[in-house]
Structure 1
Amino acid sequence: MDFKSFNEADLCFRACLLFLLTTAGLGSGSAATPDEIEAYLTEAITANQISGEPYELDGSRIVFTSYYFIRPGNVIWQNDAGEMVNIVEENDENPVYGPWDAQLHRPSSPYGIELKVQAAERMGPLLKDKKPWETGYVIFKTVLKDGDVYKAWGKARGAGDCYFESEDGINWKRPDLGLKEFNGSRDNNLLKSGPGGTVFIDPNAPPSERYKSIRGPRVSFEEFKAFIEAHPDKWETRAVRGPWRDPTKIRGISGGVSPDGIHWTDKELFTIEHSDGMETGWYDTHRGRYIVYTRTWVVGYRSDRWTGNPQTRTWPGEFHGSGRRAIGVMVSDTFGNFDVSRTIIEPVPGEVSPSEVFYTSIHSTIPDAPEQHLMFVTVWDTRDDTCKIEVWSSHDGLVWARIPGPPILETANFGQWDGGSIFSFPSLIELPDGDFALPYKGYNLPHKYPRGHMTVAPGYAIWPKGRIVAVEAEEIGEFSTVGIIPPGRTLRINALTKRAGGVRVEIANINDEVFPGRSFDDCDPIQGDHFWSSVTWNGQSDLGYEEGDGVVIRFKLDRAKVFGIEFE
């Protein structure tokens, strides 16, 4: 990974500080006055990105996939007057506070809650009415919602990349694109030169490159030789997957661009490295960078003193290798100038067994919450050839943590269309009824089983009512959000309680001062099944804040699950 962008930002900040020092007269060695210090620090800090609450949301929704939007709380000792008690000196002649006068307060401290990912239901196979060019198989490689239209890019065996559209994400149309001939006809949805991999929409790109793809092509020996001579630092030896005398096994990572998702132009190779999973990517609008996820290997360097055949592949795990499949990342401020990926998610004790490794690096975000990142990882067990899909979360796309809970989807029973193995695909979408859906492909046979009679089809992992992760209190619990600038004046909640349980909500500022009429006692009951129901206080839905206020939302849970909140 290349951190040049961070270094350049740091240098820019240092230059800004030097300029401020000079203009304020603070660089000459003269003592600064308190007013000069305050003015200098204020200008220096506000010239850069300031950390801390209140946060600005990129969308209108929060799903608590991590602790990022939950305050950790604090411990404060106060006297009876509500004043903070710090250190009392032993030799104080007139101590104001005795050793037992302080009382413990825990503002915004969460307790009694857990984050739990929810298992999905399965839907499929999709695309049952196959066309002549889909007789072998057809799968989805990417599903996106683009405005009011659901779009999918797939692959038909023997015919190549293809394109679909849908009004509801379930029933798919194959537009006659007229681009590629099949059996003497161009009346089909085949792409002449398709994305070749997964697709994402770039909000920063010119219209001619709005759609982008990430792919892992095979590289010819001539391409390999020319690339490593021009870019000796952008390749790694595992890219030569097969025996060195077989140049057809070299792998690389590249991409494509398109104005409409239909007409594609290939990009030059980014790197030459071994990534034979499903690479995904996105554009980070906050930091101005492209982030691409790959499949890497957790493996050490082979000893130079080993006397065996150097062509022996001792790193892959297919036979006796030491390597574990993992998830990697590449970062660049342009869509092309990437360095070889580095590992960011690897199989670790406590999360997977020693025989489990990672396959697909499927990045997505919560619908209508683009700053809440998810990674849907297919976990393959080398001991019994089974697959399951689990999910990790991140607030910045670089630091990841597994969400506690069960696998979101496991291989179906024998005899089912997906009863052999399953693999996740992008992206997580919201269907018109509010369900969340994640594409996957299912095989009728295990992953490494002889493939002569293997079939494959696309399906969805479905979360009814968009309930993918819950903040759950099995009994009594509380938590508070970090301070935010609300994108709306009313709050809706997605929650489920026991029959004798409930949820109460309170609205405060970032100093924990409750807004008038918006306390827990004022909150109207929230009991039962609430699917994006409005939260009210004595019948009033307005949150009660002044424009520009930082707002903290507090929750009291009694045998309840909160799946998310949204503003309007």
Structure 2
Amino acid sequence: MTRKKILFTDWRDIQCGAVAWLTAEGDHYRVSTPPEPQVPMRAEPRLVPRGIRLQAQPAHKAGKMESYGGWGRVIFDGEQHRTWYIEVNGVSMLGSGSVAHTDTITSVAICGIKSRDGYQWSEPTRSEINVPGQRGFDGMTFFIDPHAPESQRYKFIYCAQFEKDMFQSHLTEYFNRQPRHRDDRISGERRFGMFAAVSPDGVNWTALPEPFMLHPSDTDTTVLWNETLERYVMYTRMMRNGRRWIGRAEAEHFMHWTPVVPIIWPRLDDPPDYDFYLNGYSPYPELPEYQLMIPMLYHRYTERSEVRLYSSEDGIAWNQIPGGPILTPGELGEWDCEFICTGKDLQPFGTDKVAIPYSGTIYPHKFPRWSPVFAAAGMGWACWQKDRLCAVTTDNEGEFWTIPILPSGRQIRLNFRAPMAGNIGVGIEGVAGRSASDCDPLTGDWSDRVVTWNSESDINVPEGKPIVLHVKLRAAELFSVAFE
């Protein structure tokens, strides 16, 4: 497959290499059936990376939104930012969270707002939906479904409790599952379903009459259609041992889902009072093969929070990217000084940045929620320079070789940072005149620097032939490699 760009959010594009065992004459003996008799051998590393590490990059806060009435998710659709949320009895605050459990419901509506700049938001559209017997709305999300008929292109997802005599067949099937596929928060008295509403245009909505699964997905849910798997995928909250974890489910058909299984939970080197509170799933804009999570971790002892960066190649196996938190509460007195929550999606922000929405407040998370406490919460943006969420870096010297790559162009462009005493050299393995030693020095802070060898920028490789890049770093950070 032709590649336009490489991001360094994991090791997928970097070879692990091997050691070759050579005789004094330079003959290479493999591990099986070497010739007799045994002779002295020396080790020669080949394409083995050394001296490098991955480093998550901290976000930069880019200001607070104005007149924002939604919750945590914003998407970038048609050159504008869009979001949807639930209003109960004409109040958006009753549409999610701790105050959503009101027994007197006179109306439920899905509202949509949009913004050109991400700060000033439009007046909402409102579409009432018919949801008899439901209450306690929470865990809302939405997505544009490329696999659905046009009448259901937009999907709004939410969790709600339902009345005792409803959906008995769903409950029977759920309680017949193995215990590992059930959530202790669901019982005969506490019945949680995941529901959906659909729309052809994101303005006029119709609620589907039955839950598509039973699960108590409060606070943060992600649902999407995965083109590679040809499945719907959900990331959601689950509880184990009294702690919040991140779980995953999938479905070939939207109304029939697998059980939720855990994929991310507090590590054993995390303090024992930490929860994975929000998943913050977001593929990288225009490069969906780089799947990211930007989860919020809740610190119970201080009722504060932090945000980390996770990556995955398949959306199932996840790793935390080293480097510590990428977003933390603000300084004392700032609007987000006590507690922050990550939003999603990661999206273009201006011409040279990517950003996620996030919320913040001056109060600890479980502080009693009087009206002024709710009013203190706000939404802002956390951003990175384009492609700079993660770097492959070294403090001294390091090098690596990429897997074979079929480039989409004849020039190589780097997004990197190196001080005057640092340097990056890029070579093309096995191509004369294109070694890392032939590379003209690459220093400074560049988002789109063309690689040259003795002032020539063409890769000097026949069209359609894969290349292996040899990258040498000295006190440098490399964020991405592009081919044009």
Shared fold, TM over 0.5 = yes
Residue 87 of structure 1 and its aligned partner are, at CA, apart by: 5.9
Structure 1 equivalent of residue 358 of structure 2: 440
The alignment partner of 2:14 has SS state of: coil
Percentage of identical aligned residues: 31
1:149 paired with 2:80, answer yes
1:490 paired with 2:411, answer yes
Q: Which of structures 1 and 2 has the bigger CA Rg?
A: 1
Greater alpha carbon shift after TM alignment, 558-567 vs 517-526: 517-526
Return the alpha-carbon distance in structure 2 between the equivalents of residues 211 and 82 of structure 1: 64
The alignment partner of 1:208 has SS state of: helix
Structure 2 equivalent of residue 63 of structure 1: 7
Describe how 1:395-406 pairs up with structure 2 within 5 A.
395-406=313-324
Q: Work out whether residues 110 and 205 of structure 2, in 8 Å CA contact, stay in contact via their aligned partners in 1.
A: no
| Two-structure CA RMSD over aligned residues (Å) | 2.8
- Structure 1 residues 161 and 209 mapped into 2: Cα distance closer, same or farther (>3 Å)? closer
Residue 206 of structure 1 and its aligned partner are, at CA, apart by: 3.7
Structure 2 equivalent of residue 99 of structure 1: 39
Structure 1 equivalent of residue 91 of structure 2: 158
Higher strand share: 2
CA-to-partner distance for each residue in 1:94-150, whole Å, 9 max, x for gaps?
A: x6xx733x44322221111111111112233202xx3xxx7xxx2343222234333
Return the alpha-carbon distance in structure 2 between the equivalents of residues 368 and 89 of structure 1: 49
CA-to-partner distance for each residue in 1:381-412, whole Å, 9 max, x for gaps?
A: 11111111112111000001111112111122
Higher helix share: 1
Residue 556 of structure 1 and its aligned partner are, at CA, apart by: 0.4
The alignment partner of 1:141 has SS state of: coil
Structure 2 equivalent of residue 377 of structure 1: 295
Q: Work out whether residues 312 and 318 of structure 2, in 8 Å CA contact, stay in contact via their aligned partners in 1.
A: yes
Describe how 1:520-535 pairs up with structure 2 within 5 A.
520-535=436-451
The alignment partner of 2:480 has SS state of: strand
Residue 258 of structure 1 and its aligned partner are, at CA, apart by: 3.0
Unaligned runs of 5+ in 2: 93-108, 131-137
Describe how 1:7-406 pairs up with structure 2 within 5 A.
57=3, 60-79=4-23, 83-86=27-30, 92=36, 99-100=39-40, 102-127=41-66, 130=67, 138-154=69-85, 158-159=91-92, 161-167=110-116, 169-174=117-122, 188-193=124-129, 197-229=140-172, 233=176, 236=182, 238-240=184-186, 247=189, 249-267=190-208, 268-299=210-241, 323-350=242-269, 352-406=270-324
Unaligned runs of 5+ in 1: 1-54, 176-187, 300-322, 509-513
- Structure 1 residues 290 and 489 mapped into 2: Cα distance closer, same or farther (>3 Å)? farther
Return the alpha-carbon distance in structure 1 between the equivalents of residues 408 and 78 of structure 2: 20
- Structure 1 residues 105 and 460 mapped into 2: Cα distance closer, same or farther (>3 Å)? same
- The one-letter code of the counterpart of 1:67 is W
Residue 354 of structure 1 and its aligned partner are, at CA, apart by: 0.7
Structure 1 equivalent of residue 103 of structure 2: none
- Structure 1 residues 475 and 293 mapped into 2: Cα distance closer, same or farther (>3 Å)? same
Return the alpha-carbon distance in structure 2 between the equivalents of residues 80 and 542 of structure 1: 39
Residue 164 of structure 1 and its aligned partner are, at CA, apart by: 3.0
Residue 373 of structure 1 and its aligned partner are, at CA, apart by: 0.8
- Structure 1 residues 482 and 446 mapped into 2: Cα distance closer, same or farther (>3 Å)? same
How many corresponding residue pairs?
452
Return the alpha-carbon distance in structure 2 between the equivalents of residues 490 and 229 of structure 1: 61
The alignment partner of 1:197 has SS state of: strand
- Structure 1 residues 329 and 85 mapped into 2: Cα distance closer, same or farther (>3 Å)? same
Q: TM-score, normalised by structure 1?
A: 0.73
- Structure 1 residues 551 and 218 mapped into 2: Cα distance closer, same or farther (>3 Å)? farther
Return the alpha-carbon distance in structure 2 between the equivalents of residues 109 and 430 of structure 1: 35
